[in-house]
Amino acid sequence: MISRIWHGWTKPENADAYETLLKSEIFVGIQERKINGYRGIQLFRRSLDKEVEFITIMWFDSIDAVRDFAGEDYEAAVVPPKARLLLSHFDARSQHYEVRAELKS
């Protein structure tokens, strides 16, 4: 299992609109692509002093599945134009980790 981690930041006044865009359009669009080996996505949000940070963690079976999502340069961030309008700044590259252990209760 591979986790793909990415960070983006908005101004506080754009945070709700960005979260809505993610949930109603971007995440739905990813799911509709029916990428073989895509296992889901999580969204994290926290308010900082002057901005709001978002983290997405996507789950894939393999790096090949990540490539099916992001392209050959699979570390490059996938940030649609509508999202770019709401973000103050974001990671240009995503980080990928092998999931080596998981414990659920």
Per residue in 44-75, pLDDT (tens digit) is 999 999 999 999 999 999 999 999 999 999 99
The identity of residue 93, as a single letter, is R
- Domain borders along the chain are 2-94
The arithmetic mean of pLDDT across residues 27-39, rounded, is: 97
20's enclosing H/E stretch is helix 12-21
The identity of residue 7, as a single letter, is H
The identity of residue 42, as a single letter, is Q
| Angle at the Cα of 73 from the Cα atoms of 6 and 45, rounded to 5 degrees | 10
**Domain 2-94, classified CATH 3.10.180.10, yes or no:** no
83's enclosing H/E stretch is helix 81-86
> What single DSSP character describes residue 97?
E
